[in-house]
Amino acid sequence: MPPQLQSQNQSGPRVLQGDLSALSPAVREFVEANVSLCQPDFLHICDGSDEENRSILTQLEEQGMIKKLPKYENCWLARTDPRDVARVESKTVIVTRDQRDTVPTPLEGGVSQLGRWMSPEEFDKAMTQRFPGCMKGHTMYVIPFSMGPVGSPLSKIGVELTDSPYVVASMRVMTRMGKAVLSALGTGEFVRCLHSVGCPLPLKKPLVNSWPCNPEQTLIAQIPDSRQIISFGSGYGGNSLLGKKCFALRIASRIAKEEGWLAEHMLILGITSPAGEKKYMAAAFPSACGKTNLAMLCPTLPGWKVECVGDDIAWMKFDDQGNLRAINPENGFFGVAPGTSAKTNPNAMATIIKNTIFTNVAETSDGGVYWEGMDESLPEGVTITSWKNKPWSSEDGEPCAHPNSRFCTPADQCPIIDPLWESPEGVPIEAIIFGGRRPEGVPLVYEAFSWQHGVFVGAAMRSEATAAAEHRGKVIMHDPFAMRPFFGYNFGQYLSHWLSMADRPGAKLPKIFHVNWFRKSASAGFLWPGFGDNIRVLDWMFRRVNGEAGAMPSAVGYLPCSNSLNLQCLKGDVDLDELFSLDQEFWQKEVDEVRKYFTTQVNDDLPSEVARQLELLQQRVKQM
């Protein structure tokens, strides 16, 4: 590890809140080592109280980092430096001794698209260049947090050290944080998280939008062997709220592999039929495929009810009865704002009108928020200020809100939050859904033939990249399990781990499905109305799980029999033949693309069962 520098302040930082000596020896040692490295002037041990939260928000307001939105109750707007607006995949690394523990070796020395590896030596060097003295003049906040309900057997604890009060306010929304967590931790294991925006005082250059960051030096490192996350230079959510993707997916997926469970980029929803029977389903979609919208669905079929357990991450583990039990490890929603409206997601709109931190959305002159796709007309005379803090009009030719602008809002405010969303034992998952944005060729829904075929379907997931990603144009990208940026270890081993679930004695394996809400016709746009009408697809899955709905085998999986999708009261005509048509030429190309991806990217680490499933698909396509 890099050298520990002596603080100029020989007596150490002034403790503003909390008692260092009351911390467990391991937590205290973690704090003291990093105080000596980062040299903060002050130390604040977070207790998670309302009073602390009010004081943090006031401080952020005084520093100009956030401003109050008087139209709503306790809502705030942050505008970031325009260079710090999203997760930075190119600067996000996994540190392991052996590169192959992190990523498969691509064919002929190509570049891996399944993660970025950094050697421990290179990481130590990077750390030494960045962290010594990085918190001078600032407060180091100690945030004890629980991923999952405090005390649940499925939950895990972390401690994040940060110099960003914005992170403190956001982590209080996104995780269970404070005193109760330290009590639950006792002397147990925890994930060590260190974060700095990298702007020690005196500043070398003025801040943009009062937003501290150091984009030239940004680095987000996960060190699975020692359960550490170290992030520098970015204040943006996914890079700085270390409980989120860094812990809940990258580190947790590695812990899950070792302990025999799954940490996945999946929403969890509860669905109740008109007869009163309830099931839980989990679903993995890449970004901009309507994940939050599905998690908070308003059904158009009478008598059905959908409730939300989580919109982003699922931790799933088989219990002693063989049920796959899932918890949402988060405590809030960190949702993409643009496209969220009373039409697309009324439940999200109802969730975010209080206690919410908005980042990089536009602001209205009457103290509200605005973004593309909100579809609300503004009262006369109300003007818009863009995320860049400039007057904005629709003629400007650029969006008023950043495409990756966010709301950070408490989950328990969601009008349809599931009654069991904080159940310590988790909810039983009976169906797993994969999906992507596929304008052509891929039917509305199909069911995998088996668990092994379902794992192949997840591995072969592809989706049209959207404007929010760094990729130009409408490219179909591989995004296996919607986890491509989030794998904490070698993807080939990850596939083997998923396959191994079928070998568990007594495991009740969920059915696996694939959906595509986004198929288009050559002339008339989307073939399926989507949104609330997606309940019709969930209804078919529900009945399939119960062995009630008809299905017919096809080259890709089981398709609904004619008349087995409930289309009652559906507005407008839907061309089911086109929606479910399978074109041999299209699927031959799909097989070729997937084979090329597996060969070049997963290479020698591809499990033989996944290769076999690809060959079976090839044979079925030939016979079409």
Q: What is the pLDDT of residues 41-53, one digit of tens each?
A: 999 999 999 999 9
In angstroms, rounded to a whole number, what is the distance separating the alpha carbons of residues 462 and 594?
Answer: 9
- Supply the DSSP symbol for 490: -
Is 6's pLDDT higher than 60?
Answer: no
Per the residue annotation, which of 38, 246, 289, 400 is the catalytic one? 289
In angstroms, rounded to a whole number, what is the distance separating the alpha carbons of residues 463 and 460?
Answer: 10
> If DSSP codes are grouped into helix, strand and coil, which group holds residue 120?
helix
- Tell me: the pLDDT tens digits for 153-176? 999 999 999 999 999 999 999 999
- Tell me: the pLDDT tens digits for 439-469? 999 999 999 999 999 999 999 999 998 644 4
Is 109's pLDDT higher than 90?
Answer: no
> What are the structure tokens assigned to 170, written together?
């956001």
Peptide bond into 202 cis (omega under 30): yes
How high is the pLDDT of residue 468?
Answer: 46
Could you tell me the CA-to-CA distances from 85 to 124, 286, 490, 613 in Å, in that order? Answer: 27, 19, 28, 40
How high is the pLDDT of residue 472?
Answer: 55
Backbone φ, ψ for residue 362 (5° rounding): -85, 160
Average pLDDT (178-192) is: 97
Average pLDDT (272-284) is: 98
How high is the pLDDT of residue 523?
Answer: 84
Picking from 170, 414, 407, the residue whose alpha carbon sits closest to that of residue 309 is 414
> What angle in degrees, to the nearest 10, is found between the helix axes of 451-459 and 491-500?
160
| Angle at the Cα of 493 from the Cα atoms of 188 and 288, rounded to 5 degrees | 85
How high is the pLDDT of residue 4?
Answer: 39
| Angle at the Cα of 318 from the Cα atoms of 312 and 321, rounded to 5 degrees | 135
With contact defined as beta carbons under 8 Å apart, do 392 and 402 qualify?
no
Contacts of 259 (CB under 8 A, 6+ apart): none
Contacts of 322 (CB under 8 A, 6+ apart): 504, 506, 507, 508
Average pLDDT (553-567) is: 96
How high is the pLDDT of residue 466?
Answer: 63
Picking from 84, 80, 92, the residue whose alpha carbon sits closest to that of residue 219 is 92
Q: How confident is the model at residue 287 (pLDDT cuts 50, 70, 90)?
A: confident
Whole-prediction pTM value?
A: 0.96
246 is catalytic: no
> What are the structure tokens assigned to 246, written together?
């860094």
- Tell me: the pLDDT tens digits for 18-65? 999 999 999 999 999 999 999 999 999 999 999 999 999 999 999 999
Q: How confident is the model at residue 2 (pLDDT cuts 50, 70, 90)?
A: very low
The average confidence (pLDDT) of the chain is: 95
In angstroms, rounded to a whole number, what is the distance separating the alpha carbons of residues 346 and 456?
Answer: 34
In angstroms, rounded to a whole number, what is the distance separating the alpha carbons of residues 173 and 243?
Answer: 11
- Supply the DSSP symbol for 580: H
